[in-house]
Amino acid sequence: MKPLITVLIDTFNHERYIEQALSSVLEQGLSAVEMEVVVVDDGSTDATAAIVQKFSPRVKLVTKKNGGQASAFNAGFAASAGEIIALLDGDDWWEKGKIAAVTEALEDNPDVAAVGHGYYEFHESTGRVDAHVPERREILELNTAAAARAESTIWRFLLMGALTVRRSVLDKIIPLPEEMIFMADTPIQAASMTMRALVLEKPLFYYRRHAENLYAVETGNTDKLRRRYAMTELVYEMVYTKLLELGVSKQAASALVHGFCFNARRWRLGTYGGDRREVFRTEMDSFHEEFENASISYRLFKYLCVAPATLSLPPKTFYRLRNWYAERQLGRHRERLVQRENA
């Protein structure tokens, strides 16, 4: 017999969306013997739980006090029995044939621990749909820093709704730290890459952008952006620690996650200010990680121009200047000096 598949859905106040999500799962055409569906309601205060119960007994509902995404994953994994686990948010939905495609990929590639794929981004406010698809089928793994750096651009094809994992992946990282109120799928994605993840070159789910998204926040919503970037810093630092525990080298772990941390910290410091020493550490650590073999002229530029500026200017002023420098592509003049030096 084929291994049982668990569809694990986390939801919170998704009364407008959860029925579409569940219908898209049941329309995959698998029986209850082949696929169980577990929905974790993270303390919804609307009609979400009542809507899910309409699908009983085909769908198992787990209710809990509101605690965030990581706590929902912990509860859902404990309630699941599948050897293959497909993840979905309660406000997104799948294309028909999604489960068939990912399970076939796992069967054909026993050496990979997870499968991801392209997706459609649905903008609820306008109805626009954008397709995001990798150029080709890819295997993601973290055996070198160069591989990890390349993986960071393809990582998005392992997001919730696209990610299906073997149970062995979750065995390595559950329970997740419950401080991860959202973005808790990030350590699952990272663990998947340590065990090899396959990305398919086809879009198989719809990611819905709407006003209540905790991560997909509009640029004008400063309060939500602050929350998002604070969570980004927290989650990626936790992921870095977990990657080291899973045997990934410091160089590869840093190459994968620290760029996200640095950018989140830059946004926080540039928007709200802070300690100038933190700006200095951020810029110097970023430089040393990204440019291990930097030229002498570039090192002098960083040490004699950038470093003093981080310590002498208020963080908001420094990052306004940094953004101004980047927007005008003034780095091209520095690059010409580097090229002449290396010639």
Q: Mean of the pLDDT values across residues 11-31?
A: 97
Q: Which two tokens stand for residue 134?
A: 């990798």
No. of H helices and E strands in the chain? Answer: 14, 10
CATH ID of 5-209, from 2.40.420.20, 3.90.550.10, 3.40.50.450, 3.60.21.10 = 3.90.550.10
**What is the band of 204 on the pLDDT scale with cuts at 50, 70, 90?**
very high
Q: In Å, how far are 105, 145, 218 from 258, measured between CA atoms?
A: 31, 12, 23
185-194 vs 69-78: helix crossing angle, rounded to 10: 60
pLDDT at residue 339 tops 50: no
Q: Which tens digits make up the pLDDT trace of 170-193?
A: 999 999 999 999 999 999 999 999
| pLDDT band at 294; cut points 50, 70, 90 | confident
Alpha carbon separation from 174 to 24, 76, 156, 245, 280 (Å, rounded) = 27, 11, 21, 13, 35
Res 333: pLDDT: 55
Alpha-helical regions (H) of the chain: 18-26, 48-53, 69-78, 98-108, 145-151, 167-173, 185-194, 222-245, 250-272, 276-290, 296-301, 307-312, 315-327, 331-342
pLDDT in tens, 97-114: 999 999 999 999 999 999
Q: Tell me the C-alpha distance between 278 and 299, whole Å.
A: 20
Q: How much is the mean pLDDT over the chain? A: 91
Give the residue extent of every domain in the chain.
Answer: 5-209, 222-342
Copy the structure tokens of residue 88.
Answer: 């979905």
Query: Are the beta carbons of 113 and 166 closer than 8 angstroms?
Result: yes
Angle, vertex CA 129, rays to CA 216 and CA 182, nearest 5? 20
> How high is the pLDDT of residue 96?
96
